[in-house]
Structure 1
Amino acid sequence: MNQQTIHRWKNIELIEEDSHLPNGRIVRHTTIVHPGAAVILPITLNNQVILLRQFRPSLNKWILELPAGTIENDEAPIECARRELTEETGYQANTFHPLGQCTPLAGFCDEIQHLFVATDLNQTASLSLDEDEVIEVIKADLNTIEHWIRHDKITDAKTITCISKAKLCGYFD
């Protein structure tokens, strides 16, 4: 297959390659190759959700989102979820419930996001942030979060997907 790497950043690549379509055509396609990510929905004993208020340089603004992070090396998604929860929130969870997967940008990126609900939480550490991360940890109940989603205070797709799927699966009382 004719493939060319256009750019590399951290463990993400932008490639161009010939793609064979089901109708027999061959087209040149550009794809962001991504190792995948874990998205964590931490729920406290009193049904509060731990969210992040994070500055995103690509948008040049603060957004509300769930803790999440890129899978490193050959890390299993659950291990990524454990690591990212602690690094970004200072909490650890005794129980993780897998919620399935999400493909957020299928038109140009092969990233698969692995969704988890984290329960039985303990605050154990201070944040351990990457150089480019600016994060504030907040808590909110589901009604507040749904209000924020309806009124575009939460626009992050992985957050909306994970919360919606958790609600459909009965993780909120």
Structure 2
Amino acid sequence: MTVRTLHQWKTLALVEETIILPNHQQITHTMIQHPGAAVILPIDKAGNIVLLRQYRAAIKRWLIEIPAGTMEHGENPQDCAYRELIEETGLKAQSLTSLGEITPLAGFCDETQYLFLAKDLIPSNEFTADDDEVIERFTLTKQQLQQAIIDGEITDAKTIACFSKAVLCGLI
């Protein structure tokens, strides 16, 4: 197998590699290498879900989503979840439960997103959104969030997946 980096940007790389498929056919496959991300479903003391209204430049519109972020070099998913929750919401979780993982873009990207439920939230003075992040924090009840998904107000896949996993596991 040969791998060739076509472009590198921050922690992402566009690579081309020669691989052999399970049917023994050899192909050249182009994909994005991604270090992985943590996705956090924060629940406040009142049982409301903490959400972000965030401007996404790639699609040139605002999305309603839960906190999430890319893992730094050598960082494990749980540490990333703690860090991203603080950075994006100004809240610190005293309880963090793993909800497993999802593979959001397997056709062209090797990213794995690690899902977490965050509870027992306390304020943190370490709120530091990245330069390219325009974020507004707010809360919805479980029923309001479900309705926003049904109505198409929430289209963010990681938010829908993480919320659904927590509901299906009986955790909220």
Give TM class, smaller chain. over 0.9
Gaps of 5+ in 1: none
1:102–1:114 contact (8 Å) kept in structure 2: yes
Aligned to 2:82: 82
Q: TM-score, normalised to structure 1's length?
A: 0.97
Aligned to 2:54: 54
Gaps of 5+ in 2: none
Deviation at residue 126 of structure 1 after TM alignment = 5.7
Aligned to 1:103: 103
1:89–1:126 contact (8 Å) kept in structure 2: no
Q: TM-score, normalised to structure 2's length?
A: 0.98
RMSD over equivalenced CA pairs, Å:
0.8
Determine whether 1:21 maps to 2:9.
no
Looking at structure 2, the residues matched to 83 and 154 of structure 1 have their Cα atoms a distance apart, in angstroms, of 24
Instruction: After superposition, give the CA deviation of every residue in 1:106-144 in whole Å (9 maximum; x if it has no partner).
Output: 011000000000000011226301111110001001111
User: How many equivalent residue pairs?
Assistant: 172
**Secondary structure at 1:41 match in 2:** strand
Q: Which letter maps to 2:11? A: N
Instruction: After superposition, give the CA deviation of every residue in 1:69-127 in whole Å (9 maximum; x if it has no partner).
Output: 00001001000000000000000010000000000000110000000000000112263
Looking at structure 2, the residues matched to 87 and 126 of structure 1 have their Cα atoms a distance apart, in angstroms, of 7
Deviation at residue 170 of structure 1 after TM alignment = 1.0
Runs ≥4 residues deviating over 4 A: none
Looking at structure 2, the residues matched to 67 and 93 of structure 1 have their Cα atoms a distance apart, in angstroms, of 12
